[in-house]
Amino acid sequence: MKRISHLEKSYINEVLDSNFRTSSGSTMNTRLEKAFSELYKSNFAISFINGTATMHAILLAKGIGEGDEVIVPPLTMASTTFAVLQVGATPIYADVDALTYQIDPSSIQTKISPKTKAIITVALFGLSPDMDEIMKLAEKSNIFVLEDNAETMMSYYKGKLAGTIGHAASFSFQSSKHLTAGEGGIVITDDEQLALDVRRVSSLGYSGVSSKKGKITKNQIQSPSYFRHVSTGFNYRMPELCAAVALGQLERVGELVNRRVEVAQLFQDIIADTEWLIPQRTPDDCVNSYWTYVIKLEHSDINWTSFRDKFQEFGGDGIYAPWKLTYQEPFYKDILNRETNPYCPIAEELQTSLLQFKTNYWEWNKAEEQAKCLKKTIDFFKSL
């Protein structure tokens, strides 16, 4: 199979052949939003330029800002924290579960304060957090829940699609993600007012947009009495060429997600009898879509770098390390003046021991080659 097929190319050509003058109601963005809403059975979808702008827009639309606190996991891409900082709020870090690596509801509970206005959950590596427990905490304290689903697509939590449980969800179409547009993102929600406010944030605060419509007609703006901007906004709209690619990818979502799951299973079979390589735990009532296949290295005589180097020596593509915890990054001390330093011991221990393997192998023989390299690496260390 190919990552980019004739379908995406045909949609790109549609945009180019139209000279970007697609008619109202039939733009690629409109088609993408409609298709994504139908897939997730969500009332509203708003396409974006990327999966960080999505979160910024949602928080801004909710009126979250200076003096407010937003609970986030530390073991994830810093974009989650950046979105909080963009609205002037303070990120509060909750620790993660030692087996699933997802934000831990019991830690969230200890971080809730009168200033808490939102919780951002992250479906890390393709797996949903324990959303039932998180939503119970949120409902008890009237807290908004945003699902950051940049790393998952078509994963399930207790029979529900991840992204349909919180009050809104953000997805990313960056090049490494399950579906790509090169860059891009999308927001889904069932809240019409939130959808309208998010749309306005993404569209320069234009008065003519709606919860389901992002295009403004010429008749609207060709008037000296027309008031264009009813709120603050940005140009976060997805370009039509990106939307064309994303739409083609969305129509192939089954095969694209399934391939990642198949590659993850290939790696899983290789490590099955190696007690010092522990895979991310996927609960029985969840379905993991495996943005990456993640295992924990638990061997006192093998360090992370040695394992990675040997894997590459045998022909492996390389192994990604988890990001430094966001509060460990240099920018954190420069930007935030905190009275207390965050401390998430489980996340700190995991950050130095997790191995992330790519799952986006579109040619099956290449995936099999990587699995063989992993087996050779394991056999080498077992022989010592």
% of the chain residues with pLDDT over 90: 88
* Residues assigned a catalytic role: 177
DSSP summary character for residue 31: H
CA distance 142 to 52: 24
pLDDT one-digit tens code per residue, 224-233: 877 888 999 9
Question: What is the predicted pLDDT for the residue at 221?
Answer: 72
Each residue's pLDDT tens digit, 89-103? 999 999 999 999 999
Cα(227)–Cα(177) distance, rounded to whole angstroms? 39
Residues composing the chain? 384
Query: The pTM is what?
Result: 0.95
Domains of the chain: 6-252 (3.40.640.10), 254-382 (3.90.1150.10)
Spatial strand order of the sheet with 144-148 comes to 44-48, 185-189, 168-172, 144-148, 116-122, 69-72, 90-93
Contacts for 294-300: CB closer than 8 Å, 24+ residues apart: 294/101, 294/125, 294/354, 294/355, 294/356, 294/357, 295/267, 295/271, 295/354, 295/355, 295/357, 296/350, 296/353, 296/354, 296/355, 297/353, 297/354, 297/355, 298/353, 299/381
Q: State the pLDDT at residue 22.
A: 56
Summarize the confidence of residues 56-62 as an average pLDDT: 99
Residue 5 burial (C-beta neighbours within 10 Å; 0-12, 13-18, 19+)? middle
